[in-house]
Structure formats: structure tokens, C-alpha cells
Chain A
Amino acid sequence: MPNFEFGGKSYDVDEEGYLQNPEDWNKEMAEEIAKTEGVEMTEKHWEVVNFLKDYYKEYQIAPMIKILIKEMAKMFGPEKGNNKYLYELYPSGPAKQACKIAGLPKPTGCV
């Protein structure tokens, strides 16, 4: 199994870099995972990641994108609750990048 090296320790990830054990996650590590995705974490990025973590904690599943968009709109207003905004923060897609940075399991895509 591939590893992610951080702070002198090695963590299990799958071949796409998703953490295998959510309890391994911490904020500093998230910043480091973001770098591997070419994402510089700002407050705006954290708003998305924090929402994902809260949602996961409550439901043990990553939200559908449409729920992410709706909830972002509720919490931060319509200018942050849309697809375009999320892709500006996470150019390869919120499902792929924000979930990875939040240490959530890989969302199961469909073909």
C-alpha cells in the first residue's frame, strides 16, 4: 500500500493519495496534502473542508455535490454556494480534492 510521509511518520493512503484511516488526519497534514494537489489552503478553502468534515462526522458519508453547494449557500451565501466557486478553489473538483484534503474516504464515483 502506498504511503504519505508527514512529520517523520508514514501514513497509509490508497494509490490516489486518500488517507485510509480518517483518525490519522490533522490540520497540518491537510495543508501538506493540499500541496500535493497544487492547492494553497486559505480561509475559503477551509470553509469547504470544515463543512465536509462536519458532515462526515454526522453522517459517516461524504455529501453529494448538490448538497455541498446548497449547504455552502445556506452558510456563506449564494456567491459561495455554486459550482463555479468550488471549482475555483479546487480546480480538479471538490469531490476529488476537498475530500482528499479533509481526509475523507474516496467518494465512490460512477461511470
Chain B
Amino acid sequence: MSETPLLDELEKGQWPSFVSEIKKSAKKNKKAEGLLGQLELSYKEKKTHWKHGGIVGVRGYGGGVIGRFSDVGEEFPGAAHFHTIRVNQTAGFFYTAEALRKICDIWDRHGSGLTNLHGSTGDLVLLGADTDSLEDIFCELSKEGWDLGGSGGGVRTPSCCVGPARCEFSCYDTLALNQDITMTYQDELHRPSFAYKWKFKFSGCPNDCVAAIARSDFAVIGTWRDDIQIDQDAAAEYVQNGLDIQTDLLAKCPTRCIEWDGSLRINNPDCTKCMHCINVMPKALRPGKDKGACILMGAKAPIVQGALLASVIVPFIRLQPPYDEIKGIIKKIWEFWDENGVARERIGECIQRVGLGNFLEAIGVEISPQVVTQPRDNPYIFYEEYYEEEGGEG
């Protein structure tokens, strides 16, 4: 009889199974074998056998390795230490096969051989290291040009979409900005000293392929200020080839700002840059020429408090090296957060606590209509000039 009857259930069906992968590794690796045994026990007893917390790391860094200790290490020695190593991924996830093989070789020699490409922050994740082998792993990774990612209360490994490397919609060079920000904030990344985590994510257009708007404290999403570029002949060709333009395009425009009477007309000031029409007919429509990005802040998944989506902070910013303007904004925000943040409170929660209006004032960003959800409907914004004028009269 199988030693892992409960885990075997997870291999049934047509989908790939993490259990099959752990089993493959367990045949040649003691750590993976330990993990398999502990996991079966967890399913049997319906409880986790990972202890809470644990601080492990490498010299010079305060993050990048997350401690995992087993409470059944004597029974499953391979799982006793099973630390997670975050390796800073490349911008846009571009690797050569050779580079990946080298990481796998290092990992087969020193760890469980099990990986997770990629974790939700974006890192290349190596699962299952012993405390004693951490320095060796770090050293070998460094020799191959890799560095650790972020963990704890600091800058997490920045992450971006493929950007202009493979996508014609990208409104700025996400890969270049991702790289620049990663290098600029090495200290904040490796030596965490914030109240809580800070995630940067960079998407080239409002399709937001890294879901920056939903999962980063500081989302930079490409956008444009002028008109959507239209190729009328290509649009007509889509219709000739059977596109149901009424149902699939016009009716799905959230602001109904696009019309078709044999040629396309767009009322651009009403466009909210949802990208739907461009996605439906990419050969006929493309973003405008006056390109830049929108900065949104405060998104998070539910951990201490509930989930938040990001709010617009800066509606439009041009992004060109050396990116001084955006770095200036980041500096002011961190100064504010340092003064006002409390432990385990994300910046989005901090902004909610102090009020968006106060936050914007503190970081010196002018409030603009794009920050307001609907007229007369946003509790955050308080137009002081207007108030003072009225107060003066009364």
C-alpha cells in the first residue's frame, strides 16, 4: 500500500499535481522526502506542522530568506529546516535556459530541488533549505550573478510586465524602470526597516498584466493623454471578417465613448483607458502618442485587514531615465510613512487612516479631478480654497 494515500488523491484527474513533483524529487532528495512525509501527516491530522515564524538569513542581508521550521523534524529530518529562498527574478521574466539550469544545479546540490516559478511577489522561489547551507547557496547564486529578493518590512522585489520587449501597447519601458528602481533601492530591499512590506509593480498599459492595481503598494501603470490612434481601413477589415462590432466592442465600452458608422469615432475625453476596444481590434486601434504612466497606491490582499484596490495618486507622469520625478515622490511618501506608519500597517491602510487628502498634502502632490471617484462623492477630498472663500464670506 502507498505510504501517502491522502496525497495520492491529489494526483488524480487531468491536471498537473504538486504531489507528483514532490514525489519525483523525493526519490533522489532527502529534504523532498521529508516534506512528502510531513505533508501526508498534515492531511491526516488536518493541521500544519510548520512552526510559527523563525528568523534566518545570510550575512549582510536582513531579508530574502524566510524561515520554515517543522514541529515534527525528528520524525521527518528532511523537513526539520525547510527555509524559503527568494531569488530576485529578471525584469519581465526573461531567462536563458542556461541560467535556469545553473540555478537548478545549485538548488539540487544544496536544497530540496523544489522550486516555485514564480512566487506572487515575482521572485524565483527555492523551497527547502537547511540553515547551515544558506551561506553556500547565497555565495553560489552570487557567483552566477543572482541576488536575493525582499522579505519582511521592506521593499519587496520589484516586478514588471514584459513591457516593450514583447508588447506593442506598452506606454513606457517597464523593464528599464523595474531595473532602475531595483538597483536604486538595494538598501531598502535587503535591509528592511519599514513598518511593513512595500511592493512596487510596473505595468506598461492599463491591461495591467502584473495586476499592479490589485496587489502593489505603489503601482505604475502605463497610460496616454492624447487620442487613441485609429487605422480606419484595419477597423473596416475586422468588421468585414465578421466582428460583431455592436456586441463585442461598442456595447462593452464602459463610457460608451466609441461609435461606428462605417468608420470609428472616439470621444477621447470620455475614454477611461480600459483597453477593451484596443484589445478587440489591436491592428486597428492603439494607445495614443503622448505616453507616460499613472501612479496608484494602496492595494493589498487581505492579511491583517481586508483587501484594498489602489487609488490614483498621480494621474500622469512621464517616465524617462534617470526617473528623478518618480523617485522624488517615493522619497516624500517614505518620509511620510516613516513618521505616520504603524507596525504591520500597509501604506494603503495608513492612507485610509489619515485620509487621502491629508496624505496628498503631506507628500506635496496636487489634488486633481482624476483622484476623485465621482463628483461630490469622495469623502477624502476637501477643497480648502473653496472652503476658505465661503468661510470668509460667512
Contacts and interface: CB of A to CB of B under 8 A. Distances in A.
Question: Is the contact region of chain A dominated by helix, strand, or loop, or is it mixed?
Answer: loop
Interface in A54-96: 64-66, 69, 83-84, 87, 91-96
B359 interface: no
Contacts, number: 69
A91 B135 CA distance: 13
A95 B343 CA distance: 14
B52 interface: yes
Nearest to B192: A65
Interface residues of B, number: 30
Interface in B166-188: 187
A110 B59 CA distance: 19
A45 interface: no
Given A92-B58, A96-B62, A87 B191 contact: yes
Contacts of B52: 108
Contact of B55 (A65, A83, A107): A107
B54 A16 contact: yes
Contacts of A94: 62
B55 A110 contact: no
A110 B62 contact: no
Contacts of A84: 187, 191
Contacts of A108: 52-53
B197 interface: yes
Contacts of B59: 91-92
Interface in B205-248: none
A78 to B, nearest CB: 14
B195 to A, nearest CB: 6
Nearest to A110: B152
Contact of B193 (A15, A16, A66, A91): A66
Interface string B37-65: 00000000000000011111111111000
Nearest to A88: B60
B190 to A, nearest CB: 9
A108 B66 CA distance: 12
Contacts of A64: 153, 195, 343
B62 A87 contact: yes
A7 interface: no
B29 to A, nearest CB: 22
Contact of B191 (A93, A109, A110): A93
Interface residues of A, number: 21
Contacts of B107: none
A110 B197 contact: yes
B155 to A, nearest CB: 12
A94 B153 CA distance: 13
A87 B188 CA distance: 13
A102 to B, nearest CB: 14
Contacts of B131: 16
A87 B58 CA distance: 12
A84 B152 CA distance: 17
A103 to B, nearest CB: 15
Nearest to B191: A83
Contacts of A92: 57-62
A66 B335 CA distance: 11
A92 B61 CA distance: 6
B169 to A, nearest CB: 33
B193 A106 contact: no
Interface string A26-70: 000000000000000000000000000000000000001110010
Interface string B18-31: 00000000000000
B380 interface: no
Contact of A109 (B53, B58, B338, B343): B53
B203 interface: no
A94 B55 CA distance: 11
A13 B53 CA distance: 15
Nearest to B338: A66
Contact of B53 (A69, A83, A87, A106): A106
A96 B191 CA distance: 12
Nearest to A96: B55
Interface of A: 15-16, 64-66, 69, 83-84, 87, 91-96, 106-111
15 contacts: A15-B69, A64-B343, A66-B194, A84-B191, A87-B60, A92-B57, A92-B58, A94-B62, A96-B55, A96-B56, A107-B55, A108-B53, A110-B197, A111-B66, A111-B152
Given A15-B69, A87-B62, A91-B59, 12 more contacts: A65-B193, A92-B59, A93-B57, A93-B191, A94-B62, A95-B62, A96-B56, A107-B55, A109-B152, A110-B153, A111-B151, A111-B152
